[in-house]
């Protein structure tokens, strides 16, 4: 089995602007095993919204312990398939950030999503404090022997009336702090990020960007377009909870046929 340190190095190297890592986010052992078994899968990733839904709660109510519980089941599959695993760690759970990262490291995790909106405070962290939290994660990981631990640093700046320029400035600060990629979240509330915004963030962040690929609704950017956008492309593409949303619809459709006596 590949060492955790080597898995982290391998995972970090997959983040290439113009030749992006593509992640089909999972939420439990069943979905993780289905995705891990695909020959195209190079790494596994969780989505906190989907982890929360599987626990019967909304994403904002997902506690550290419940997130770790969900991550543990996916981590077991990642180990079985010898794949790197990154976990959506929300905002890092305030003062529990170091403790939580150590527990993730104990599960074999080699990366996290880290948001800059504090749920405890109900506000964005100041950019300097958020950058320090990125550094804290990397220090804890390095102390555990995982020097290439990957932080995908998400900013929710656009959701809280900051401009795209301010969001990009936050992304730059997080990259300078050691994050592998920045993730400027557009959010469902504002309809996501526009093509122009993605072009600007890719160009100004040198392609070191994570973009959420929209699969539930039509009209989103394609993988091909994201390979070239802004003249540099992006380094990472994820789908968040969208596989979970689609799978729920498929289960309901099939269950309806059974309950109507139509069979499988």
- According to the model, what pLDDT value does residue 227 have? 93
The CA-based angle 156-160-164, given to 5 degrees, is 70
Name the band, by pLDDT with cuts 50, 70 and 90, for residue 221.
confident
pLDDT at 116 over 90: yes
Higher-confidence position of 217 and 225: 225
**Mean confidence (pLDDT) of the chain:** 95
More confident residue, 107 or 264: 107
Which tens digit of pLDDT belongs to each residue from 130-185?
999 999 999 999 999 999 999 999 999 999 989 999 999 999 999 999 999 999 99
Q: Is 264 exposed, middle or buried (0-12, 13-18, 19+ CB in 10 A)?
A: exposed
Percent of the residues in the chain that have a pLDDT greater than 70, as a whole number: 97
Answer with the residue of higher pLDDT: 224 or 42.
42
pLDDT attached to residue 118 = 97
- 142 half-sphere exposure, CB direction, 13 A CA radius: 9
Q: Identify the structural domains of the chain with CATH numbers, from first to last.
A: 4-259 (3.20.20.60)
Q: Cα–Cα distance between 124 and 104 in angstroms, integer?
A: 24
- pTM, two decimals, is 0.95
Give the pLDDT of residue 188: 76
pLDDT for 251 equals: 94
Q: Which of residues 91 and 189 earns the better pLDDT score?
A: 91
User: CA 175 to CA 192: how far, in whole Å?
Assistant: 22
Distances (CA, A) of 151 to 44, 59, 203, 260, 261: 14, 20, 20, 48, 49
DSSP 46: B
């Amino acid at each position: 089995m590949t060492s955790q340190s080597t898995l982290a190095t391998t995972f970090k190297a997959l983040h290439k602007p113009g030749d992006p890592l593509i992640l089909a986010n999972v939420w439990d052992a069943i979905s993780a095993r289905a995705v891990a078994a695909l020959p195209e899968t190079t790494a596994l990733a969780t989505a906190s919204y989907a982890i929360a839904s599987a626990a019967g709660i909304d994403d904002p109510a997902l506690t550290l312990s419940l997130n770790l519980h969900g991550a543990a089941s996916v981590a077991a599959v990642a180990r079985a398939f010898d794949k790197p695993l990154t976990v959506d760690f929300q905002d890092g759970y305030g003062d529990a950030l170091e403790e939580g990262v150590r527990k993730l490291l104990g599960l074999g995790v080699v990366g996290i999503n880290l948001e800059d909106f504090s749920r405890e405070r109900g506000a964005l962290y100041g950019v300097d404090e958020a950058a320090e939290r990125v550094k804290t994660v990397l220090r804890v990981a390095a102390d555990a022997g995982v020097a290439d631990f990957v932080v995908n640093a998400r900013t929710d700046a656009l959701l809280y009336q900051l401009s795209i320029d301010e969001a990009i400035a936050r992304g730059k600060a997080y990259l300078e702090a050691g994050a592998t990629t920045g993730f400027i979240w557009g959010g469902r509330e504002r309809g996501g990020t526009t093509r122009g915004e993605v072009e600007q963030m890719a160009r100004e962040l040198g392609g070191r960007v994570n973009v959420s690929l929209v699969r539930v609704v039509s009209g989103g950017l394609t993988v091909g377009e994201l390979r070239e956008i802004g003249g540099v492309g992006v380094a990472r593409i994820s789908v968040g909870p969208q596989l979970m949303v689609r799978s729920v619809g498929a289960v309901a459709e099939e269950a309806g046929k059974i309950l109507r006596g139509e069979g499988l």
